[in-house]
Structure formats: C-alpha cells, structure tokens
Amino acid sequence: MTIREMTAVKLFQLPDEILKEVDSFIDFMIMRHQLEVKSSNLSDGVAPKWQQWFDEVDRLELIPHEPVNEYQEAILDKYRNQGLDL
C-alpha cells in the first residue's frame, strides 16, 4: 500500500470535525510548498544578479561634485542645513 492509499484510509476514519482541520492543514502545506518552490526559483536566478550589481556599485569611484551656479549652491546648502551629508 502506498503512502497515498494509507493516508486516504486514515482520512475516511476521521470524524467531520477533525477532517475540517486536516483539510485546512493540507491547504496550508500546499501553500507553504508553493512558496518554498517560488522562493527557491527566485533565489537561484535573482540573487547572483543582485550580488553582481552590488559588487559593481561598490567598485564605482565617487567624484565630489562642486556646484556650478548659485541655484545648485542654494540647494546644497538647504540639504546640508537639514542634516544631509552631501
């Protein structure tokens, strides 16, 4: 007898009140399995690409930007006064 057959026999022996709980649990297990499969598929394809992106960003050279006109200077001063470090 297979596991499916043994489980089906047990299900037929359960009273309706317990069978409702088992049905809810089966729904939960199906949903959890689907999420695990989906998560596994995402991590296989997306994670290495994100890691590559972060590595490339970390290697970027930051060049300090000096304002070229009064408007840019005013905006930078405004942000600095708000506590932003630019």
Give yes or no for a contact between 11 and 19, defined as CB atoms under 8 angstroms apart: yes
Residue written as token pair 């304002």: 67
Averaged pLDDT score across all residues of the chain: 85
- Residue 42: pLDDT band with limits 50, 70, 90: low
Share of the chain above pLDDT 90, in %: 38
pTM of the full predicted structure? 0.44
Distance CA 7, CA 74 (A): 73
Stretch 39-51: mean pLDDT: 73
Residue 30 has pLDDT above 90, yes or no: yes
- Residue 6: pLDDT band with limits 50, 70, 90: very high
Q: What are the boundaries of each domain within the chain?
A: 15-59
